[in-house]
Amino acid sequence: MAVDEEILRARAYLLRVAEPPAPQTGRFVDRVGAVAAAEAIRRGDVSREVAKETSARRKNDHAEADLAAAAAAGARLLVPEDPSWPHWPFACFALAASDELVSPLGLWVRGPGSLAELTERAVAVVGARNATGYGMHVASDLGRALASAGQTVVSGAAIGIDGAAHRGALSVGGPTIAVLACGPDRVYPASHSAMIERIAATGLVVSEYPPGAVPARHRFLVRNRLIAALAAGTVVVEAALRSGAQRTASDARALGTVLMAVPGPVTSAASAGCHELLRRDALLVSSAAEVTEATGRLGIDLAAPLPRPERPTDGLDEQQRLVHDALPPRAARDVGWLAVESGLGTDAVRAALVELERRSLALHQEGRWQRVTEPPSD
Amino acid sequence: MAVDEEILRARAYLLRVAEPPAPQTGRFVDRVGAVAAAEAIRRGDVSREVAKETSARRKNDHAEADLAAAAAAGARLLVPEDPSWPHWPFACFALAASDELVSPLGLWVRGPGSLAELTERAVAVVGARNATGYGMHVASDLGRALASAGQTVVSGAAIGIDGAAHRGALSVGGPTIAVLACGPDRVYPASHSAMIERIAATGLVVSEYPPGAVPARHRFLVRNRLIAALAAGTVVVEAALRSGAQRTASDARALGTVLMAVPGPVTSAASAGCHELLRRDALLVSSAAEVTEATGRLGIDLAAPLPRPERPTDGLDEQQRLVHDALPPRAARDVGWLAVESGLGTDAVRAALVELERRSLALHQEGRWQRVTEPPSD
């Protein structure tokens, strides 16, 4: 099922010539096929719209060299003609009525995983570079718990939240996908090179930029759409009011995937972007189980209800509660006194006392009753 | 406009005889009037439903004594026949199809304020007794800022969040209302007696329980409906998963007032109840301005947009951004190089450079261009 070399060369050429996102080029390729499109672009024999996206670099035909450089770096070119292309996740691009949110022309990938398989159950965890200890802790916990639950953690390998999420997944041997904004032969940020190598060894490192490409600012933003698209949902863990993570969030929203955010202290600027998303339309999540429930298989991935504290008075009916409240903690009283105190008739008081005694909530001594004390609560 | 003494005596009698909430008694009083209802109940000449709520205590006619005890404690009885009765806030009880959510038969009040006036613009701030330093800080800040904005802060005078909210309002001389679950001649909790006296001196201390009544557990829950009803909205600041604050929240929801919650760290059990409310239907609020916007006058009490960090590249168009990204930070390059790097035509590059130079984002030297460096960001 190997993809034709000619297609690989055509897509490698297109990925270098058209700076992503290249909506017109994408449509042209979809219409005439990668090989014919590459031919036409190389000759300059294309519409004005496609020319606008391709004329500056159309003579830079480095396809062979790029494929070789990628191979030397352990990467390969994944193309839509390949069975492990993530057609299903990328179908969300069709939903987004935006020229910025388009499927890539191909992806340089490094690692043993199949992108289609890894994204069958995947969640993006993204957030601030400038994260707090709280955010790092939550992202790492989420990464670990999602991976343990069989989800692939998708993120951008950045300093801060991204790195913590990847590391959480790696810590339990779970697959994780890092989408980079530079060429497949580069690692960015440099301080994460060991982590990125580990991801490449067990999961996948993915990029739509050709070998040698540097991570320009614009590319981080464009890259974010791939993080959002490869996952069923995106969780933002800490984000300042204006941040790349908010861009990924708005991509997730536009792509129709599940947008989630983790809250934090309202006194923390690092959580202000999350709170803004939550005030708008994001779903608040406080655990991996809640993330899985929101993104998972219907009726299967339900979060267990949160454990609730139990009280000895649970299950008492209204009258039993009133009598229990009326019972004095020290000096015992008779049924008549309890009737006035509780506002109930004496028969109702007697009936309630039977149940309260059965539950060891009331103490009976010579026709008088008192409460079995427990600490007061809210 | 003094209320007839006979009505005051009748309502004082009813408040002692019928343990709140007493929906059947309330309906009976609404139908025949307080004086006739009290007469009939005293005689035992009432329907089975009303009898169920009143028979145990109907012979306890302490009306005169209760009025005297209240007066001795500086309290007075406020009744629906009084012009300062909060008819408008209590109209929400008509919305709630629940026998637990009914208007009180009267209120013992202590303090200089008019309950009707104080509740024209009022917000309830409630939460955990077992609050964290974070929660106390937020509640106190909210209390202060809401009071400064002319809102009355309503709460339950409890240890923890309630007390912090009251104190925040008191700190700026703002009016605040404490709704207690005990008689008007008592203070609970005892450790808040000085605070409750300050509230009585400047705002209002309110209760539907007769003089001498102790704050039984059941009464805290029943009292919570009054906190919710007296305010246009309820803010929960920290609440455990099962707590009185969540009861107040569910009352606010049932009464159709605005339900809000303050988020906190997902690692904090004290915020778990807030997060549960936010996952359901509560509005996330992170500041007093957001609370006021949600509960305030339409089009007047709008929260100012949050300040957003500004960047020198704000307002650049797509092509200008691409060229700016392509500009090398050190070794300057010519227009042809920039065209290939950015993927744009040379004319577009030249046009973008004019604007980038005007904004001091690009530096021009002998036909070559480089970036004016600024620190990288997300």
Please write the tens of the pLDDT for every residue from B367-376.
Answer: 898 888 754 4
- Using CB atoms, pick whichever of B241, B275, B326 lies closest to residue A263: B275
Taking the Cβ of residue B302 and every Cβ of chain A, the question of whether any pair is shorter than 8 Å is answered with no
Q: How confident is the model at residue A275 (pLDDT cuts 50, 70, 90)?
A: very high
Evaluate whether residue A308 is within a structural domain. Answer: no
pLDDT exceeds 80 at position B215: yes
Percentage of residues of chain B with pLDDT beyond 70: 96
Query: What sign does the CA torsion over B172, B173, B175, B181 have?
Result: positive
Are residues B201 and B256 located together in one domain of the fold?
yes
3-state DSSP of chain B? CCCCHHHHHHHHHHHHHCCCCCHHHHHHHHHHCHHHHHHHHHHCCCCHHHHHHHCCCCCCCCHHHHHHHHHHCCCEEECCCCCCCCHHHHHHHHCCCCCCCCCCCCEEEECCCCHHHHCCCEEEEEECCCCCHHHHHHHHHHHHHHHHCCCEEEECCCCCHHHHHHHHHHHCCCCEEEECCCCCCCCCCHHHHHHHHHHHHHCEEEECCCCCCCCCHHHHHHHHHHHHHHCCEEEEECCCCCCHHHHHHHHHHHHCCEEEEECCCCCCHHHHHHHHHHHHCCEECCCHHHHHHHHCCCCCCCCCCCCCCCCCCCCCCHHHHHHHHHCCCCCCECHHHHHHHHCCCHHHHHHHHHHHHHCCCEEEECCEEEECCCCCCC
- Give the pLDDT band (50/70/90) at residue B378: very low
Asked if B326 has any chain A CB less than 8 Å from its own CB, the reply is yes
Asked if residue A178 belongs to a domain, the reply is yes
Regarding whether A203 and A102 lie in a shared domain, the answer is: yes
| Mean pLDDT of all residues in B335-355 | 87
User: Does B19 sit within 8 Å of A343, measured CB to CB?
Assistant: yes
Contact B339 A265 (CB under 8 A): no
Distance from CA of A117 to the nearest CA of B (A): 30
Q: What was the pLDDT predicted at B96?
A: 86
Which residue in A has a C-alpha nearest to residue B320's C-alpha?
Answer: A218
Domain shared by B170 and B282, yes or no: yes
Q: Which of A127-141, A210-224, B104-118, B321-335 has the lowest mean pLDDT?
A: B321-335
Task: Identify any residues that bridge with A283 across adjacent strands, giving them in sequence order.
Answer: A260
Whose structure tokens read 């406009």? B1
Is pLDDT above 50 for A378?
A: no
Contact B241 A265 (CB under 8 A): no
Which of A136, A137, A155, A266 best tests the B interface by mutation, with the highest count of B CBs <10 A? A266
Residue B90's domain is classified under what CATH number? 3.40.50.450
Residue A376, pLDDT > 70, answer no
Q: How far off is chain B from A150, nearest CA to CA, in Å?
A: 22
Q: Is the bond into B189 cis (omega within 30 degrees of 0)?
A: yes
Q: What is the pLDDT of residue B131?
A: 96
Confidence of residue A1 (pLDDT cuts 50, 70, 90): low
CATH number of the domain that A336 lies in? 1.10.10.10
Q: How far is B162 from chain A (nearest CA, A)?
A: 12
* Residues A206 and A180 sit within 8 Å (Cβ to Cβ): yes
- The amino acid sitting at A92 is C
Pairs from B112-116 (Cβ < 8 Å, separation ≥ 24): B112/B201, B112/B202, B112/B203, B112/B204, B113/B175, B113/B177, B113/B202, B113/B203, B113/B204, B114/B84, B115/B78, B115/B84, B115/B85, B115/B86, B115/B177, B115/B204, B115/B206, B115/B230, B116/B83, B116/B84, B116/B85, B116/B86, B116/B87, B116/B88
Location of structure tokens 């409890």: B158
On whether residue B376 sits in a domain, the answer given is no
Taking the Cβ of residue B339 and every Cβ of chain A, the question of whether any pair is shorter than 8 Å is answered with: yes
Same-domain check for residues A57 and A159:
no
**A106-127 mean pLDDT:** 97
- Asked whether residue A313 is domain-assigned, the answer is no
The verdict on B232 and B221 lying in the same domain is yes
- Predicted complex ipTM exceeds 0.85: no
Residue found under tokens 């672009």: A41
Q: CB distance A240–B325 less than 8 Å?
A: no
Least reliable range by pLDDT among B26-30, B129-133, B214-218: B214-218
Per-residue pLDDT averaged across A318-342, rounded? 86
Least Cα distance to A356 among A377, A335, A331 occurs for A335
CA neighbor of B180 nearest in space, from B167, B199, B165: B199
Partner-chain residue, chosen from B275, B290, B321, that has the shortest CB–CB distance to A218: B321
Look at the alpha carbons of B349, B355, B357, B361 in this order and tell me if their dihedral is positive or negative: negative
Residue pair B199/B101 in contact by the 8 Å Cβ criterion = no
Q: What pLDDT digit, counting tens, does each position of B52-91 carry?
A: 999 999 999 999 999 999 999 999 999 999 999 999 999 9
Interface of A with B in 356-375 (CB under 8 A): none
Chain B residues whose beta carbon lies within 8 Å of the beta carbon of residue A241: 306-309
Q: How many CB atoms lie within 10 A of CB B43?
A: 9
The rounded mean pLDDT for chain B is 92
**B194 and B47 fall within a common domain:** no
Per-residue confidence at A135, pLDDT binned at 50, 70, 90? very high
If phi > 0 it is left, if psi is from -120 to 50 it is alpha, else beta; for residue B10 that is alpha
Q: Whole-number mean pLDDT of chain A?
A: 92
In a domain, A378, yes or no: no
Domain boundaries, position B68: 62-295
Give the type of residue at B227. I
Q: Which two tokens stand for residue B174?
A: 């703002």
Task: Out of A244, A263, A265, name the one closest to residue B378 (CB).
Answer: A244
- Provide the number of structural domains found in chain A: 3
pLDDT value of position A132: 97
In percent, how much of chain A has pLDDT > 90? Answer: 72
Q: Which residue of A has its CA nearest to B160?
A: A378
Chain B touched by A326 (CB under 8 Å):
yes
In total, the C-beta contacts within 8 angstroms joining chain A to chain B are 148
Q: Do A378 and B158 touch (CB under 8 A)?
A: yes
Q: What is the pLDDT of residues A24-45, one digit of tens each?
A: 999 999 999 999 999 999 999 9
Neighbours of B91 (CB within 10 A): 13
pLDDT at position B236 over 60: yes
Regarding whether B37 and B113 lie in a shared domain, the answer is: no
- Indicate yes or no: CB of B220 within 8 angstroms of CB of A378: yes
Residues 5-24 of A with CB under 8 A from B: 17-19
Is pLDDT above 50 for B267? yes
Nearest to A340 among B57, B241, B262 (CB): B57
Inter-residue contact B129 to B138 (CB < 8 Å): no
Q: Which residues contact B109 (CB under 8 A, 6 or more apart)?
A: B75, B76, B77, B78, B115, B184, B204, B205, B206
- Mean pLDDT for the stretch of residues B225-234: 97
- Residue A377's pLDDT is what? 45
B349 domain residue, yes or no: yes
CB contact under 8 A, B287 and A272: no
pLDDT class of B297 with cuts at 50, 70, 90 = low
Q: Answer with the one of B280, B295, B310 that is the final residue of a domain.
A: B295
Give A2→chain B minimum CA distance, Å.
Answer: 31
In a domain, A303, yes or no: no
pLDDT tops 90 at residue A19: yes
State how far residue A342 is from chain B, nearest Cα, in angstroms.
8
Q: Are B51 and B71 in a shared domain?
A: no
pLDDT average, residue stretch A194-203: 97
pLDDT at B374: 59
Average pLDDT (A160-165) is 98
Residue of B nearest to A377 (CA): B217
Query: Any CB–CB contact under 8 A between A216 and chain B?
Result: yes
Q: Which of B262, B295, B328 is the last residue of a domain?
A: B295
Which of B61, B88, B109 is at the close of a domain? B61
Residue B291 amino acid letter: V
Same domain flag for B48 and B74: no
Which A residues 61-120 touch B at CB under 8 Å?
A: none
- The reported pLDDT for the residue numbered A344 is 86
Q: Kindly state whether residues B150 and B179 are assigned to the same domain.
A: yes
pLDDT for B366: 84
Which residues 146-165 in chain A show a CB within 8 A of chain B? Answer: 158
Q: Give the pLDDT confidence of A211-228 residue by residue, as tens digits.
A: 999 988 889 999 999 999
Same domain for A155 and A95: yes
3-state secondary structure chain A: CCCCHHHHHHHHHHHHHCCCCCHHHHHHHHHHCHHHHHHHHHHCCCCHHHHHHHCCCCCCCCHHHHHHHHHHCCEEEECCCCCCCCHHHHHHHHCCCCCCCCCCCCEEEECCCCHHHHCCCEEEEEECCCCCHHHHHHHHHHHHHHHHCCCEEEECCCCCHHHHHHHHHHHCCCCEEEECCCCCCCCCCHHHHHHHHHHHHHCEEEECCCCCCCCCHHHHHHHHHHHHHCCCEEEEECCCCCCHHHHHHHHHHHHCCEEEEECCCCCCHHHHHHHHHHHHCCEECCCHHHHHHHHCCCCCCCCCCCCCCCCCCCCCCHHHHHHHHHCCCCCCECHHHHHHHHCCCHHHHHHHHHHHHHCCCEEEECCEEEECCCCCCC
Rounded distance, CA A339 to CA A323, Å? 8
Is A72 buried (19+), middle (13-18) or exposed (0-12) by CB count in 10 A? exposed
Q: What is the pLDDT of residue A302?
A: 67
Contact yes or no for A242 and B306 at CB 8 A: no
- Beta partners for residue B176, in sequence order: B153
Residues A137 and A16 in one domain: no
Query: Which tokens sit at A147?
Result: 């991976």
Is the residue at A354 inside a domain? yes
Q: Which residue, among B48, B222, B247, B286, would best test binding to A if mutated, counting the most A CBs under 10 Å from its CB? A: B286
Residue A270: phi and psi, rounded to 5, are: -70, -15
B203 in reach of chain A (CB within 8 A): no
Q: Report phi then psi at A260, rounded to 5.
A: -130, 155
Average pLDDT over residues B141-155: 97
